[in-house]
Structure 1
Amino acid sequence: MINDQREIERRLQVLRGLEWSDVSRAADMLTLGFGPKHEAKNFYGVPKQVSAWALHIQCAWTLSEAGNVIATEQSLWGPDEKANEFALRLRQLLARNAPIIVESISANSDCGLVVSLSQAFRLIVAPDVTSDHENWRFFESKRDAKHLVIEGGTVASEYR
């Protein structure tokens, strides 16, 4: 039997020492990039810059700086203009404070995450264990890379 907590920590340890290099959104999903960027083509064949690793979050999350909450999943709620403005502010924060480096990753028994970053930044991801919807996913930004997917506070069986 696979221990989800250990599996998550094992898979995400590749982020340790890498720079938090991108932030974006898709509807109410927060998308974060880590590591060096490279050119890739989107599904329309248009080239774009993507980070080596991606973390897509569709559950409760909190980003704090020195213990002060600076954003939560509610930051993406509402009209697109508001959510786009938030994503822009977060990209500007990244640029002003670059580099922000991943210092450690820890997971809990509900497949939640704590990503400790340099400069006193911390990201906490709290899956909804009562739902069978996708909570978050982590993957290398290669077209055929295997994804680690968390649904309902557990590693999705098809991704083990």
Structure 2
Amino acid sequence: MIDTRNEIERRLSVLHGLELSGVNHAADMLTLSFGPLREVTNFKGALKYVGVWALHIQCAWRLEEAGRAVATEDDLRAPDEKAQAGTQRMQEVLLANGRAIVEAVIADDAGGATLFLSRGFWLTVIPDGKADEEDWRFFASGVDAAHLVIKGGAVAPESFD
């Protein structure tokens, strides 16, 4: 049996000390990059920049500072203009004034995780717990290796392929 909390903490421990290098979205999915950025060509042939590690969140999440919400998944589950504005606000607070650095990661048994960042920010990922629906994934960008996939609040079997 997989210990969800320990597996998440073990896999996300590589983020400790790395800077957050990108904040974006694809539809209502929050995409975060960590570590130095490098150029890659996407499947359409366009150049883009990716970090060493990527976190893609499709469930509930909340970015907080000093106990107040800075952004939530609702900012991306909106018309495109609002989603763009929410992403831009997160870029401004987490990247523009000196990039936030991952200081600690704590997971829970329900497939959630909290990333504690420098400058008093923290990001909490809250799985929806819906069976067979992906909550979030974590992976090394551009590397052909298994992703840590959380589905229905648990580590999915494909995380070990």
Verify same fold: TM over 0.5: yes
User: For this pair of structures, how many residues does the alignment match?
Assistant: 160
Cα deviation code 1:89-121 (max 9, x no counterpart): 211222333121100001100010010001000
Equivalent position of 1:136 in the other structure: 136
The residue that corresponds to 1:2 in the other structure is 2
Q: How does 1:80-159 map to 2 (within 5 A)?
A: 80-159=80-159
Corresponding position of 1:69:
69
Q: Distance in 2 between matches of 1:131 and 1:88?
A: 32
The code of the aligned residue for 1:115 comes to L
Deviation (angstroms), 1:2: 2.4
For residue 17 of structure 2, what is the aligned residue in structure 1? 17
For each residue in 1:9-42, what CA deviation from the matched residue of structure 2 results, as whole angstroms up to 9, or x when unmatched?
1010000000011100011100011111011110
Q: Find the residue that maps to 2:51 and give its secondary structure.
A: strand
Secondary structure at 1:92's aligned position in 2?
helix
Cα-Cα RMSD = 1.2
**Structure 2: stretches of 5+ with no match in the other structure:** none
Alpha-carbon deviations, 1:100-151, whole Å to 9, x = none? Answer: 1100001100010010001000000110113421000000101423211000
The superposition leaves residues 68-93 of structure 1 with CA deviations (integer Å, 9 ceiling, x where unpaired) of 11111101122111101211221122
TM-score w.r.t. length of structure 1: 0.95
State how far apart, in whole Å, the 1-side matches of 2:51 and 2:148 are.
Answer: 17
Alignment of 1:28-47 (within 5 A): 28-47=28-47
Where do 4+ consecutive residues of structure 1 move more than 3 Å? none
2:9–2:107 Cα contact (<8 Å) kept? yes
| TM-score, normalised by the number of residues in structure 2 | 0.94
